[in-house]
Amino acid sequence: MRLGRTGLLLIFLSWSVGYASAQQRRTPGMAVGTGYGEFFRVEFQDSNWDAKRTTELEIGPGSTNISLGDDLNVPDERINMFMGTVRIMRFLKARGSYLKRDYEGSATIRRDLTIGGVTFPALTDIDTAATIEYTTIGAEGDLYSTREFIFSVVGDYTRFRADTIIRGSNNVIAALGRRELALLTLGLKVKVYLTPAAALVLEASGMKKEGSGVLTNLDATFFYNFNRFFALSIGYENRYARVDQPGRREIFRLAGGYFGVTVRF
């Protein structure tokens, strides 16, 4: 059965590559050797991200440095990331992305924790609910491009939001409120076509604003384009947010591998 499935997969891959080559030869203006992923008006990508979360909450005078995972036993969760791109001109694209994840966890804390001005004694049972949300909207402009290589500058309005509510067994509640940081993040992007069907994409962006915080994003993705309409991808992404507020600093990091599906029109 396993050999049969492998054979079917190889047949499907061979057919896809052959079909993509035929499409390239038949499409007006599509030069032989050009990457299949460059001929679209609209592109949608859905990725499932195995994001490992690192957090530090309530860093400041009178507060305890707390980790959602280590101290409050809030588990990591997979995250669906949605991205969309619209080609405006040959060298200019508008783009956006969205992700949101709710977390829940319960723990018996091993030490005294002071959170949001509320102290929970050691051995208190704690229930935690947290939400992390990212929204981006921006543009991507090609500075230099060939059939195999594209070098671009990217700019996005990036908004990060986080909510955390911690409830003790004695009905004491620490509501940290919504922390929000919105910055114009700037960066660079490189796409290299190893073959017309296979591409490697590297992107780095970020911004720091004194008194507000820092947002950064590092992303590496390998795409296999079965034709100019459909692609699968695997990648690794690292998102970092530091929110600065009077008397405290909170850090959120999401990092891990993902698998994605892309459709183009």
What's the pLDDT tens digit per position in 112-137? 988 877 888 999 999 999 999 999 99
- Asked if residue 262 lies in contact with residue 84, where contact means CB atoms within 8 angstroms, the answer is no
Q: From CA 182, how far away is CA 189, in angstroms rounded?
A: 21
Instruction: Specify the DSSP class assigned to residue 66.
Output: B
Sequence-ordered list of residues with C-beta below 8 angstroms from that of 15, at least 6 positions apart, any chain: none
- Model confidence, pTM: 0.84
Q: Give the start-to-end residue ranges of the domains of the chain.
A: 2-109+133-160+184-264
Q: From CA 144, how far away is CA 153, in angstroms rounded?
A: 10
Q: For residue 220, give both structure tokens.
A: 């590496």
Q: What share of the chain is helix, strand, coil (3-state, %, to 5)?
A: 10, 65, 25
- Asked if residue 42 lies in contact with residue 265, where contact means CB atoms within 8 angstroms, the answer is yes
2-109+133-160+184-264 has which fold? Lipocalin (2.40.128)
List per-residue pLDDT tens for the chain, 265 residues long: 434 544 444 444 444 444 444 444 444 444 445 799 999 999 999 999 999 999 988 656 677 888 899 999 999 999 999 999 999 999 999 999 999 999 999 999 999 988 877 888 999 999 999 999 999 999 999 999 999 999 999 999 999 999 999 999 878 888 777 889 999 999 999 999 999 999 999 999 999 999 999 999 999 999 999 999 999 999 999 999 999 987 778 999 999 999 999 999 9
- Asked if residue 57 lies in contact with residue 245, where contact means CB atoms within 8 angstroms, the answer is no
